[in-house]
Amino acid sequence: MKSVLYQIRQDMASYTKSEQKVATYILHQPERVIHMSAEELAQAAKSSAASVTRFAKLICEEGLPGLKIRLSAEQSMDTDLYDEVAPDDDLNTLKKKMLFRTSQALHATNDDLSSEAIAQAVGLLQTHQQINIFGIGASALVAGDLVQKLLRIGKSAFQTTDVHLFSSSLQSVSLLVLISNSGETAEALKLAALAKTKQIPILAIVGDTLSTLAQQGDVVLTHDHSGEGLALRTAATTSLIAQLYVVDILYYCLLQTDFEHYLQMIRDSRQTIKQFFD
């Protein structure tokens, strides 16, 4: 289950000032909020009832009643798990924190993924044979994962972090996939601009629907941003897992469009590797 307190903490910087007052009070006094009306919470948070109602609706479709139910369900949760990994964490604490963060990232990504967008993305992969996939840093690992998946089912897929070489390869590309957690990666934005001049459709996989790259994508798949830019991260961990989850969903939905055909191609590729390289 996705933690509402963790979600509030992660998204704090994106709230308005009045919403931040409500959010801060909820984070510090969740057990009291469970028994409060909108007016009581507004008074305690030094905000307005309208801000409380708006914030609750932002967090939970059912509004304040639904928010209070979710807060009640988290009363027994260890809130220390919300904190960043600390240098004095023992191994057991570290494992619990990483498991919690990974679980939250996957739940949030699953909620964010639009079925309509997935169907549109699958349609692009079906109708385009030559596909270039770009990501930099940790996103390059995700790009590589998608490339090897597509190659095994007969698609022509290409990846490189050399932007000049990648740009040159766009001459014959029919689909461009750009992967960026922030959606503001300079190289990805330049490639998107280049693709627009060549009328190449863009499938964007991003962690922020309001990002520049998301605005450039013809189809956009979103995943949990994992607090990118809101807190210090030693490495891309949960965001990487969220991106890989999106790729897996996309891949299996593509397989389902012609399952027996694609399954045979996967079997053939395994047989080839076994015959010549085992």
List the beta bridge partners of residue 220. 204
Q: What is the pLDDT of residue 229?
A: 45
Rounded-to-integer distance, Cα 46 and Cα 226, Å = 29
Rounded-to-integer distance, Cα 120 and Cα 15, Å = 31
Q: In this structure, is residue 106 part of a structural domain?
A: no
Rounded-to-integer distance, Cα 179 and Cα 190, Å = 13
Same-domain status, 24 and 156:
no
pLDDT tens readout for residues 96-128: 888 888 888 898 899 889 999 999 999 999 999
Same-domain status, 188 and 140:
yes
Q: In this structure, is residue 123 part of a structural domain?
A: yes
pLDDT confidence of 227, banded at 50, 70, 90?
low
pLDDT of residue 210 exceeding 70, the answer is yes
Same-domain status, 71 and 137:
no
Same-domain status, 136 and 37:
no
Rounded-to-integer distance, Cα 84 and Cα 92, Å = 15
Same-domain status, 116 and 65:
no
* Section 191-220 average pLDDT: 96
Spatial contact of 243 and 142, defined as CB atoms under 8 Å apart = yes
Extended strands (E) in 18-153:
130-135
Same-domain status, 62 and 177:
no
**Which of 77, 104, 129 marks a domain boundary?**
77
Number of domains in the chain: 2
CATH code where residue 160 lies? 3.40.50.10490
Element (H, E) at 178: strand 175-180
The residue segments making up the domain with residue 57 are 4-77
Q: What is the pLDDT of residue 52?
A: 96
Same-domain status, 154 and 46:
no
* Section 24-38 average pLDDT: 95
pLDDT tens readout for residues 78-90: 767 777 778 888 9
